[in-house]
Amino acid sequence: MSRHPWYRHAVPLAMALSLYVPAVAAGQGVPEPHVPISTTLGDIAELRAAYVDAFNAKDAKAVAAMYTADAISIGVDGSQTVGARAIGKMFADSAANWPHAVISSVSLKVYGATAVDVGTWTVHPKAGGEMVSRYLAVLRHDVKGWKLQYVANVPVPK
């Protein structure tokens, strides 16, 4: 029984790859058997946390960067701001007066490259007390990750 010529090359190649692939993973600092993965729910939770952190730091530029170019924001007073540039200007104009905020998601549904996040946005003005609103955010995923496309806030009656 004669062996095919390709077989003579396939076995050494398979052996070389079996030694090379683990070495590449080790070289990347990936501990065995751990495989780092990014999850959609985790990515959105990180965006939500980054949003409130930037808001509390009064970093209007960082908050505005989390919106898509065609985003629409509806404030608790019913005002509507359209487009990332207008949203960025609105944030820049008001950032100095931003109170401390806390965000709490109660429902997150993902439909492919679209996610719907519903939760509570609570702010603590310097004068004291707190103002609570419910938010609905529609997020879109593109090559740069998750961004806010539509955000609406509705005040909770006291």
Rounded-to-5 percentages of helix, strand, coil across the chain: 35, 35, 25
Close Cβ partners of 132 (under 8 Å, ≥ 6 residues apart) = 120, 121, 122, 155, 156
Residue 21 to residue 24: CA distance in whole angstroms: 5
pLDDT of residue 67: 97
> Which pLDDT tens digit goes with each residue over 62-112?
999 999 999 999 999 999 999 999 999 999 999 999 999 999 999 999 999
**pLDDT (average), residues 48-59:** 97
Question: In whole numbers, what is the pLDDT of the chain averaged over residues?
Answer: 86
Count CB neighbours of 99 within 10 A.
15
Contact 132, 122 (CB under 8 A): yes
| Model confidence, pTM | 0.74
* Residue 44: alpha-carbon gap to chain centroid: 4
The proportion of the chain whose per-residue pLDDT surpasses 90, expressed as a percent, equals: 67
Contact 70, 152 (CB under 8 A): no
Higher-confidence residue of 34 and 45: namely 45
Residue 158 to residue 140: CA distance in whole angstroms: 33
